[in-house]
Structure 1
Amino acid sequence: MKSWKGGKFEYFLYILVSLFILLSSFSIYYLYNKKVIIAFGICTILFSFFYVFYKVKLEKKKIIFPFSAIVILASVCLLVLCWKGISAYGIYVTIVFLLLVLLIHLVNTLGDLHLLVNAFVLTVVCGACISLLFWFFGSIVHLINPSGTIDLFWGTEQTVNNYYGLYFEPQYSDTFIGRFHLTCRNSFIYPEAPVCCFMLISANLLNNLFIKNKTSNLILLIAILSTLTVTGFLYVMALVLSSSINSKTKSHLKVFAQIISFILILFCVLFFASSLLSAKMESGSGVDRAAHMMSELNAFRKSPIYGFGFNTFTDGSSNSITALLADGGILLFMLYYCPLFFSIFKMKNKDDKIICLAFIFVFMITVVHYLPVSVFLICCLCMHSNCKQVF
């Protein structure tokens, strides 16, 4: 992997781009300061784009122009496709889609994709460490007290604890580990734990594909479990299954230890996932989500090609499959899922394929398709599978 010391200024720019992705993916900061974060992000991405473009050799720049034309055309088609439900947010998402895809392609042309991914993973790992610190010592054992409260409107208006602007408590839990009572989900700077979980899973996926840093992997996995989400537990279970199936150890003692560990971890993950799923169904959330899914499928049947417009059904949805089909029909659905499955098809490593399949499952059952982190992740996956030729 390329060392960041070879391009300190580029690495700094990539850190800023990563911060924008974290903050703009529906963080609490974004909900309170949309214009500031959007302006910061667009300026950062544009400056990074022109700086990297300046560094790319002349013969490689010829590759960029036809690709840029294709991406701009795709962005215009996205706007036209979703024009019935277009809004300021829809225009913003399209602009971010355009800029991020062009930047990542340019960074890959320069040969700095690992550097960009490294910056993103490092940024998320630092955030995971901060969130775990306040989650355990603040929310769970109450050794750290909140510095204040904020009023948060996310579905309903509520007052949530604020820990020095670095961690918030928007979602509580009622999960028991033996006699240990977990009363709060780790949501970090996000209004709900599933969004935080998806961000952590994204960083974990990129770390496993590009960097393979074991320390980062462990921190991210612990943080994923601390969100106390069914999605997080299922993702960790998939990684455990993959690790156990592909283990190449020959020692009988180690094999036995691995089997016992696998059974214990599998049991724990299934137990907590079952507990969380049962609690969700008992609260009525599961019934509401099922009803919303049926309305999305009915909308797709009425307009299977173009859908009913940008973000029309996504608000309140429970998965990206029916939400995309209802919003933009088959065309919008293919814009997201074709690159994902094509990336897996082009991968040669079986472990990478299993991890990516686990991520696609997470992406399917989480409503994050319009967030910048989703665009960033899908682009990186395409570049990983076949560098510059996938696009």
Structure 2
Amino acid sequence: MLALDIILGSNSIYASFSFSKYVTLALGLLAAGLVFLRFMIEASGGNRVRINSNSLMALFIFLFVVVFYLFAQNVFWAKNFGQLANYLGLFVLFTPALWLYVGVFGYRGLLDKYVKLMVMIAVVALLFWGLGSIMGLFAPTSYFTIGWGGNNQVASYYGVYFETQFKTIAGHVVVRNSAIWPEAPMYTMSLMFALLTQLFVLPKRRPVFVTILIISMASTLTSTAILILVGLATYYLWRATNVFSPWYRLVLVLMVLLVVSVPAMFVFSKFMNSKLNGFSGSVRVDDYITGVKAWIKHPIIGEGFNNNKALYKFMNMNIREYYNNGELTFNKGVANAWTPLIANGGLLFMGTYLVGLGSLFRLGGSWRVLTLFIFAMMFLSIMQYTTIMMLFIFAVPFALENDSDKERFVRNRLWDSGPKNFMAKSSREYGRG
């Protein structure tokens, strides 16, 4: 349930319906309730649950910062009462609950369930996308109005797959696979976290899972997916040449990249040029300019959580206008995470995210590769206020001192439980670092 909570809270389409105003608060309450219930179950069974003192102190500091920001910005400064429920759900309820859960029970069991659920969602989405959206073997079963980027009506297949975006390829309009997300790039981000977790965090190798996730990323038809897959291919190619000397290793990588990438880069360059020279590219560039201008006005504590009105006044609306069903409208969305983060929260919130990323990087090993991907992807997608980001930036690095964190819960639970093989089995079950 907690893994499903994380998925639904990562900008899923269910949070974008007109009747979903307080979904983030509900998800936060659900997460806190689930963690509290788990603690109560363990306590009732006579199991000792210990929380690392350093983790607890870091949690108190985090709560002090976010609560201070909450009252200073949302209530007294920006008077942004409409976002109060979202803020409380994400930062005051969900993140601390996740923090405590990971610090006591570990992270691998939770991440394993997250990956499995994402693979299930990916399989369902591929079936509906291929048979319904592409081949047209059956029609949508219903339609919903979502508030993502304005009020838009989207087609749905039994409420588990949605057609939210289209792309023109060689004169043909093709539906992007966005699964249960309001746009394909957001689905790409969730797939990315699942893929990177499977590759770099979980010990069990699952080639079928990896294949499904890669195919799903390709079906989103996004430049973000291309960049992620190219980056992963380059990384694994570099690792595969470890047996060679550094000089031959570099030459071999360059030769393979030249041979393989010529046709790929031709397609990719045409794709990127169409974006950068068109409406999407101009808006993306203006996003960064807007963020810097808004940040300069209030550099320390920013303009307020999700205070989009503060961003609008700095946007170049001349390049953001477009026609939707014959009606002139403006694209007021932001396509990267850093712009709203620094504009909404200033150096205060930016600092907490950078410290979180630094702590994740400090875990060493494959965590460093994962951290670099997250940092880079924050320039390409709006993912800063999602539950999956709370897990990787705040819960995992601060709740665990390192990747081989002491198995506090497993040892406490099984101290008097018998044979060592039972301890080893339970250790694997709970997925300790």
In the alignment, structure 1 residue 163 sits paired with structure 2 residue 157: yes
1:136, distance to aligned residue in structure 2 (A): 1.7
Q: Aligned runs of 1:108-257 on 2, under 5 Å? A: 108-175=102-169, 183-211=174-202, 212-248=205-241
CA distance in 1, matches of 2:402, 2:52: 19
The whole-number CA distance in structure 2 between the counterparts of 1:62 and 1:242 is: 35
Provide the rounded CA distance (Å) in 1 between the counterparts of 2:39 and 2:354.
29
**Structure 1 residues 187, 268: closer, same or farther in 2, change over 3 A?**
farther
Kept after mapping to 2: 8 A contact 1:297/1:322: yes
Q: Are 2:28 and 1:42 equivalent residues in the alignment?
A: yes
Retained in 1: the 8 A contact 2:145–2:153? yes
Report the RMSD for the aligned CA atoms in angstroms: 3.2
**By how many angstroms is 1:69 displaced?**
2.9
One-letter amino acid of the counterpart of residue 303, structure 2: F
Q: Deviations over 1:234-285 (max 9, x none)?
A: 011110000000015869xxxx999887556544653444333233234422
Residue 375 of structure 2 aligns with which residue? 360
Distance 1:228 1:89, change over 3 A: same
Does residue 106 (structure 1) correspond to residue 92 (structure 2)? The answer is no
Q: Which runs of 5 or more structure 2 residues have no equivalent in the other structure?
A: 245-250, 312-331, 407-433
CA distance in 2, matches of 1:62, 1:293: 39
Under a length normalisation based on structure 1, what TM-score does the superposition of the two structures give? 0.82
State the number of aligned residues: 366
CA distance in 2, matches of 1:283, 1:39: 38
Native 8 Å contact 1:239 1:355 kept in 2: no
Matched residue, 1:29:
14
1:20 positional shift: 2.2
Distance 1:261 1:165 in 2: 44
Structure 2 distance, partners of 1:147, 1:109, is 43
Q: Would you say the 8 A contact 1:93–1:370 is kept in 2?
A: no
User: Greater relative contact order: 1 or 2 (C-alpha under 8 angstroms, separation 6 or more)?
Assistant: 2
Relative to the length of structure 2, the TM-score reads 0.74
Change (3 A) 1:53 1:88: farther
The one-letter amino acid of 1:146's match is P
In the alignment, the residues of structure 2 paired with residue 268 and residue 22 of structure 1 have an alpha-carbon distance, to the nearest angstrom, of 35
Sort the Cα spacing of 1:264 and 1:116 in 2 relative to 1 into closer, same or farther, 3 A: farther
Aligned pair partner of 1:60 in 37, 47, 50: 50
Change (3 A) 1:52 1:70: farther
* Shift of residue 342, structure 1, vs aligned partner: 3.0
Distance 2:357 2:342 in 1: 16
Name the structure where helix makes up a greater proportion of residues. Answer: 1
| Contact kept? 1:237, 1:266, Cα under 8 Å | no
Partner residue of 2:394 out of 373, 379, 383? 379
- Bigger mean CA offset, 64-73 vs 182-191: 64-73
Gaps in structure 1 of 5+ consecutive residues:
1-15
Q: Which moved more, 1:286-295 or 1:187-196?
A: 286-295
Whole-angstrom CA distance in 2 between matches of 1:236 and 1:126: 20
**Contact kept in structure 2, 1:71 and 1:101, CA below 8 Å:** no
1:293 corresponds to: 288
Query: What secondary structure is seen at the aligned counterpart in 2 of 1:324?
Result: helix
